[in-house]
Structure 1
Amino acid sequence: MKRRDFLQSSSTLLMGAGLASVLPADLLAMKKSISANGKINVAAIGINGMGWADLTAILKVPETQVVALCDVDQNVLDKRVAELTKLNIKAPTTYNDYRKVLDNKDVDVVIIGTPDHWHCLIMHDACQAGKDVYVEKPAGNSIIECRAMVDAQQKYNRVVQVGQWQRSNKHYQDAVNFVRSGKLGQVRLVKAWAYQGWMKSVPVKPDTAAPAGVDYQMWLGPAQTRPFNENRFHFNFRWFWDYAGGLMTDWGVHMIDYALLGMNADLPKSIMAGGGKFAYPDDAEETPDTLTAVYEFDGFNMLWEHATGINDGPYTRDHGVAFIGNNGTLVVDRGGWEVIPEIINGTPKMEAVARQLKTDEGLELHAQNFIDVVKSRKLEDLRTPIQAGAHVATVCQMGNIAFKTGKKIFWDKDKNKFTDKQSNKFLAADYHNGYKIP
């Protein structure tokens, strides 16, 4: 399914039409039949977008119930509570400050669906408070944050799943297995991309007072204090460096994740990137609307491409990963995968594989996997543990750092940093307002 189609099909969920299509009556009845002593109590922090989608997916698991909602926007909280009430789901306790959620001893599991710049702090504090965590991607908003998140999970021994739900789709797993089978021959180049035509320009808007019901200071958290601007709030936060990393971290963590999995790759040796605001040079966004990054690994290169306002990327797909081998190329996206043979003098070097279509819902399976591990405590069964989420987020951050420095940069795996001072300045996100990286 194309990204824009995915969003359209889930718009009733994300835009507040309710859970009716997500939690059918028979499922609700099933949930009510389970003993209260067997419930896993869930709290969601940040519920305007994917945090709400994650919550609804987790609530499909019969053993779960929502006991707390938290958002800095009271308008969002009121809307979500009303939707739950319409479905005869007991209204959960609501909060504007996530720390009060963590003080609630009844909460077992925390979903973090906030903007990226809050992921690290809330995940650390949740683990410290003894909660298991489902955190949205990208894991951290800097390389140092990614390390801190791994450290927190290990220190407090909590279950932490990152919301890279494609890892739970069977067709993605099948594609990776085919790549690793060796049938493609030597893979020397991997392409990963996101061409997002539905993402249009963000027009410049004046600063204003924060809307009524919004705790803007809490929304800023560790980010630099600036006047409120609608462009930086809710969905569009991802286009500003204070809070996120643009399409590189928004979609890159999904696509590059499978590139790294297929190649069983660690961190790159070098990275270079070029791009800019080529499509909308005068709009409000800070992050590049067009970017190309080249990663050098042992034995192969990985190429990342992204562009907003354009749909047709490589292989006429608006997103995907291509493993280009001597015998053929495997192309995988959210809809399925196929193999295109290399043809020499009219003779294919391997058999083609017709497109293998998606057969399941990754987000729902990802939520089920998380709850299963919450119950079993077998951390090795997690589809996207924080270690995996931090790994791909680090690789994506490297691409942004190469873009910011404007030069080819090199990673010293022994010292766990770049070889130049300019790049190392970007290892950590700047924290403000009295907050410190854990």
Structure 2
Amino acid sequence: MASPNRRQFFQHLAATGFAASATISGTKSSGQVIGANDRVRVAIAGINGRGQVHMGVFGAMKNVEITHLVDPDSRLFASRSAAVQRLTGKKPKCVQDIREVLDDQSVDAVSIATPNHWHALMTIWACQAGKDVYVEKPCSHNISEGRRMVEAAQKFNRIVQHGTQWRSDPKWQTYTTDIRDGKYGKLQTANIQIFRPRKSIGIQNPVPPPRELDYELWTGPAPMNPYRTNLVHYRWHWMWDYGDGEIANLGAHEFEMARWAMPETANPKSVVSLGGRYGYEDQADTPNTQLTLYDFGDTKLVCQQRGLHFDKPLKMSIDFHTDEGRIQEGKFYPHGKEQGEVIEGAPPSGLPQDYARDHFQNFIDCVRSRKSEDLASDVLDGHRTAILAHLGNISYRLGDQTSFRNDPQQLSESPIASESFEAMKHHLVDVAGVNLAKASYRIGRSLQFDATTETFVDSPEANQLLGGNNRPGFD
């Protein structure tokens, strides 16, 4: 690749006398409070999908300027820059390489909506360059790089917000605080359901990438695979080299909300995940049907996801089961009662509201104040949430195929997980027409996890999946 890697980039800056300002004090936000009337200058990286929300929210804020749009696909530049200009009256500069932005001392923050495999590296680079960061969920592509993100934010005193905007819903904060404090009994199980129809990505042969797309740069730290039209854009989510499946996509939101209802010190001690890809054959890697059980000691977490495109419409839910009853859709159902008691002030849907504008504003407010403790969801929150998704995927990937005639004994300690497995089988029969007598599922390995060291206990194979090997030039 013609452009330098990060180390070479800063060596060049050092030679020209700019290294110190770029790595530590390159922006007016580096260590000093910004006044309410001072303009915060933001570069947005990744402008195809979620990045357009970033453009709309930041563009509507007072004293916030979108200075750059960054994306390896230059086909997006004309329409996206025109949209920002219509909204703000100013046309941003469009570049393909984030490293051009990091050399601009006037840029205060980078807002990241790229594919997952770029989240950590771009965040770390931005912290090194003295920029604050808003990074979409999941914050990382693997556990090891997530920890490095936390360390970079701390080392360079950066404001790093995780893009789980539900965290900014004040009703949900009160709701989960009451659950955590035992108002409805001792929490035993948090039960997550993510039912989101997803179409097959099909099967496509390798072709040359479009000339407007810098595919080398899009690939970045990931392995260099042949370009296919069912990869860029969005469908990378279902490929291990770039994404982490639905468990880390929509799952990141629900994991973070479920964690909020648990004791602050709660950490996963073990995990087992099972499932498969059903209903069609395509080139995706990740399961479209997955069931994962986490053991936190006193509390368990069950995550069930379904993604067949001919399924019912989107359904996302989080139910909480205590030793006194069930909390579901804003109501408390005491044991033995069919009528739920309405929880005053609770979200009626049982899910938080989309407080995206407040979440982005919280980030800008903290950029101004330099108070990272005021972030609604800081990088450590994001890292702890992403760990849950990565644990489930690692268990799944290390699993073996088994017949549906074999019930997963690993779920036997959780009635809710066992019931979810039965529901999953009925779903596959009713919706996808799967013949369970001939079909199989992947039963993941039961893994013990040490949250203090963020490593697996007595599982070298699992520990090998804690991190990735970035390509040269992207380290």
Partners of 2:163 and 2:303 lie apart in 1 by 21
Per-residue deviation, residues 100-130 of structure 1 (Å, max 9, x unmatched): 0111111111111110101111111111111
Partners of 1:112 and 1:90 lie apart in 2 by 21
How far off its partner does 1:414 sit?
Answer: 4.7
How far off its partner does 1:328 sit?
Answer: 2.4
* Secondary structure of 1:54's aligned partner: helix
Is the 2:189–2:300 Cα contact (8 Å) retained in structure 1? yes
RMSD: 2.3
Per-residue deviation, residues 175-233 of structure 1 (Å, max 9, x unmatched): 21231242321221111121002x21111122111113100000001111111111111
Per-residue deviation, residues 23-45 of structure 1 (Å, max 9, x unmatched): xxxxxxxxxxxx99721111111
* Secondary structure of 1:246's aligned partner: coil
Which residue does the alignment assign to 1:193?
Answer: 193
Partners of 1:268 and 1:177 lie apart in 2 by 20
Which residue does the alignment assign to 1:169?
Answer: 169
Give the TM-score, by structure 1 length.
0.84
Partners of 2:204 and 2:309 lie apart in 1 by 24
Paired amino acid for 2:469? D
How far off its partner does 1:433 sit?
Answer: 3.8
Is the 1:139–1:162 Cα contact (8 Å) retained in structure 2? yes
Q: Specify whether residues 74 and 185 from structure 1 end up closer, same or farther in structure 2 by C-alpha distance, changes over 3 A only.
A: same
* Secondary structure of 1:286's aligned partner: coil
Paired amino acid for 1:327? E
Is the 1:137–1:163 Cα contact (8 Å) retained in structure 2? yes
Is the 1:323–1:330 Cα contact (8 Å) retained in structure 2? yes
Which residue does the alignment assign to 1:363?
Answer: 356
Structure 2: runs of 5 or more not aligned: 1-34, 400-444
Give the alignment partner of residue 388 of structure 1, picking from 377, 381, 385: 381
Partners of 2:451 and 2:196 lie apart in 1 by 34
Is the 2:248–2:389 Cα contact (8 Å) retained in structure 1? yes
The 5 A counterparts of 1:64-83 are 64-83=64-83
Partners of 1:433 and 1:417 lie apart in 2 by 25
Is the 2:60–2:87 Cα contact (8 Å) retained in structure 1? no
Which residue does the alignment assign to 2:428?
Answer: none
Per-residue deviation, residues 287-341 of structure 1 (Å, max 9, x unmatched): 000000100111121101111026989xx9711211111222223xxxxx41241
**Bigger radius of gyration among the two:** 2
Per-residue deviation, residues 374-423 of structure 1 (Å, max 9, x unmatched): 11111110001001001110121011001111210001345431011011
Partners of 1:347 and 1:208 lie apart in 2 by 58
Q: Specify whether residues 163 and 284 from structure 1 end up closer, same or farther in structure 2 by C-alpha distance, changes over 3 A only.
A: same
Which residue does the alignment assign to 2:210?
Answer: 211
Give yes or no for the alignment of 1:116 onto 2:106: no
Partners of 1:312 and 1:381 lie apart in 2 by 40
Is the 2:59–2:88 Cα contact (8 Å) retained in structure 1? no
Partners of 1:291 and 1:240 lie apart in 2 by 15
Which residue does the alignment assign to 1:408?
Answer: 446
Partners of 2:36 and 2:303 lie apart in 1 by 48
Give the TM-score, by structure 2 length.
0.78
Which residue does the alignment assign to 2:417?
Answer: none
* Secondary structure of 1:201's aligned partner: coil
Paired amino acid for 2:343? V
* Secondary structure of 1:72's aligned partner: coil
The percent of aligned pairs where both chains have the same amino acid is 32
How far off its partner does 1:253 sit?
Answer: 1.0
Partners of 1:402 and 1:90 lie apart in 2 by 48
Partners of 2:314 and 2:183 lie apart in 1 by 23
Count of residue pairs brought into register by the alignment: 391
